[in-house]
Amino acid sequence: MIRFALCSAYMALIYAFIFLPVAVLALFSFQDGRFPIPPFRGFSLRWHAEVLADADLIAALVNSLLVAVASSALALALGFLAARAVATGALRGAGMVRAAITAPLSVSYLVIGLGLLASLNLMGIGLSLGTVAIGHVVINTPLCFAICSAALGPATANAERAARDLGAGEIRVMALVTAPMIMPALLAAFLLSVTFSWDEFIIAFLLSRFDVTLPVEIWSLLRSGLNPKTNAVGSLVFMLSALAVLAVELAAARRK
Partner 1 sequence: MIRAASIETRDRRRALALAAPALAWTAAFFALPFAVMATASLWRRTDTGFDRRPSLENYADFWSQSAYVEAAVNSVEITLAVTCLSVLLAYPLAWIIAVELPERYRRIALALAVIPFWTSYVVRSYAWSLVLAKKGVLNGWLAAWGLGALDLANSRAATVIGFTHFFTMLLVLTIYASLVQLPRNLRLAAADLGASRFQTFRFVVLPLTLPGVAVGAFLTFALCIGDYVTPQILGGGNDLALPQLVMLQISRRADLPMAAALSVILMVLVTLAYLAMARWMRPR
Determine phi and psi for 95, rounding to 5 degrees: -60, -40
Can you tell me the distance from the alpha carbon of 208 to that of 206, in angstroms, rounded to the nearest whole number?
6
Residue 49 or 240: which CB sits closer to partner 1? 240
Distances (CA, A) of 142 to 57, 72, 124, 224: 30, 11, 27, 37
DSSP 126: P
CB of 14 to partner 1, least distance (A): 5
Q: What are phi and psi of 43, to 5 degrees?
A: -90, 125
Least distance in angstroms from the C-beta of 124 to partner 1: 14
Question: Among residues 135 and 163, whose Cβ is nearest to partner 1?
Answer: 135
- Provide, rounded to whole angstroms, the least separation between the CB of residue 62 and partner 1: 16
Nearest to 118 by CA among 206, 31, 54: 206
Of 241, 232, 239, 234, the residue nearest 194 (C-alpha): 241
Least distance to partner 1, CB of residue 256, Å: 14
Q: How many Å from the N-terminal Cα to the C-terminal Cα in the chain?
A: 39
Instruction: Compute the least distance from the CB of residue 164 to partner 1, in Å.
Output: 11
- Measured from the CB atom, is 22 or 183 closer to partner 1? 22
